[in-house]
């Protein structure tokens, strides 16, 4: 499997059967990505879906299927035709690559701030897990975890705890777009997670994991 971190929460996942883009938001650089088989969105926040740019992306990738969480169907204007809702418990087949939808809720931000749905995605039975803005721990072994490291809903200790709870072979940091010093935060997560689990991906570079 190859992963390309395109900034913040956006990751291009390449298996030997499919090219899948997850969370193309307004803090990411995904313009020009081609030959996509699917685009997946975890939730409605603009750092995870930039609707106008996604519409242009799908127009340039007419064969790509588009999946969003339940709340995005009602909260995001300008969605292209042909989208489908990815609900918790669904299994999606993308050219032989499977995607299981798990979790269901965005992590709490603060107090009574309203939450929203969050569809987290497990690719190929645990080869890769993108939790979106959640701290969901899957019920199966995970090889590569995309771990959020910064945001209004998470702190370093929670990122570390998520890595330890999921116990992947590799954890690749995401959701660092608003951090003033991402390298410092990622270094902290890496130091406390231990065992050389955390591996930062070079932005825009496909990396075999």
Report the pLDDT value the prediction gives residue 107, as an integer from 0 to 100.
Answer: 97
pLDDT digits (tens, 9 = 90+) for 113-155: 889 999 999 999 999 999 999 999 999 999 999 999 999 999 9
**pLDDT at residue 77 tops 90:** no
Report the pLDDT value the prediction gives residue 165, as an integer from 0 to 100.
Answer: 98
Query: How big is the CA angle at 74 (ends 152 and 66), to the nearest 5 degrees?
Result: 85
**First-to-final CA distance of the chain:** 6
What Cα–Cα distance (Å) separates residue 168 from each residue in 24, 196, 198? 24, 11, 9
Report the pLDDT value the prediction gives residue 113, as an integer from 0 to 100.
Answer: 87
Q: Yes or no: say if 138 and 102 are a contact pair by the CB < 8 Å rule.
A: yes
Report the pLDDT value the prediction gives residue 143, as an integer from 0 to 100.
Answer: 98
The Cα–Cα gap between 72 and 117 comes to 8
**Would you kindly state where each structural domain of the chain is located, as residue ranges?**
2-208
Cα–Cα nearest to 66, from 77, 51, 82: 82
The Cα–Cα gap between 168 and 146 comes to 10
The model's confidence at residue 74, banded by pLDDT at 50, 70 and 90, is confident
Over pLDDT 70: what percentage of the chain? 99
**pLDDT at residue 78 tops 90:** no
Report the pLDDT value the prediction gives residue 73, as an integer from 0 to 100.
Answer: 81
Calculate mean pLDDT across residues 172-181: 94
**pLDDT at residue 30 tops 90:** yes
């699917």: which residue's tokens? 38
What Cα–Cα distance (Å) separates residue 23 from each residue in 2, 29, 59, 139, 161? 17, 11, 17, 23, 23
The Cα–Cα gap between 165 and 55 comes to 36
Report the pLDDT value the prediction gives residue 67, as an integer from 0 to 100.
Answer: 96
Calculate mean pLDDT across residues 166-181: 96
Helix axis angle, 182-193 to 156-166, nearest 10° = 40
Structure tokens at 163: 């890595």
The model's confidence at residue 66, banded by pLDDT at 50, 70 and 90, is very high
Cβ neighbours, 10 Å, residue 104? 16
What is 2-208's CATH topology?
Metallo-beta-lactamase; Chain A (3.60.15)
Report the pLDDT value the prediction gives residue 4, as an integer from 0 to 100.
Answer: 98
Calculate mean pLDDT across residues 65-90: 86
Over pLDDT 90: what percentage of the chain? 89
Three-state DSSP state, 157: helix
């Amino acid at each position: 499997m190859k992963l390309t971190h395109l900034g913040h929460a956006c990751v291009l996942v390449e298996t030997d059967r499919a090219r899948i883009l997850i969370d193309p938001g307004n803090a990411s650089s995904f313009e020009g990505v081609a030959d996509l088989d699917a685009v997946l969105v975890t939730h409605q926040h603009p750092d995870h879906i930039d609707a106008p740019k996604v519409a242009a992306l799908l127009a340039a990738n007419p064969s790509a299927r588009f999946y969003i969480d339940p709340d995005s169907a009602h909260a995001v204007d300008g969605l292209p035709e042909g989208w489908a809702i990815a609900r918790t418990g669904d299994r999606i087949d993308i050219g032989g690559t499977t995607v299981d939808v798990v979790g269901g809720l965005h992590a709490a931000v603060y107090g009574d701030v309203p939450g929203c749905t969050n569809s987290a995605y497990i690719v190929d039975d645990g080869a890769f897990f993108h939790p979106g803005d959640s701290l969901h721990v899957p019920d199966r072994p995970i090889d590569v975890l995309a771990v959020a490291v910064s945001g209004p809903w998470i702190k370093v200790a929670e990122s570390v705890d998520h890595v330890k709870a999921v116990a992947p072979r590799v954890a690749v940091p995401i959701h660092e777009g608003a951090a003033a010093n991402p390298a410092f935060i990622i270094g902290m997560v890496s130091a406390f997670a231990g065992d050389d689990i955390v591996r930062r991906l070079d932005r825009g570079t496909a990396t075999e994991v």
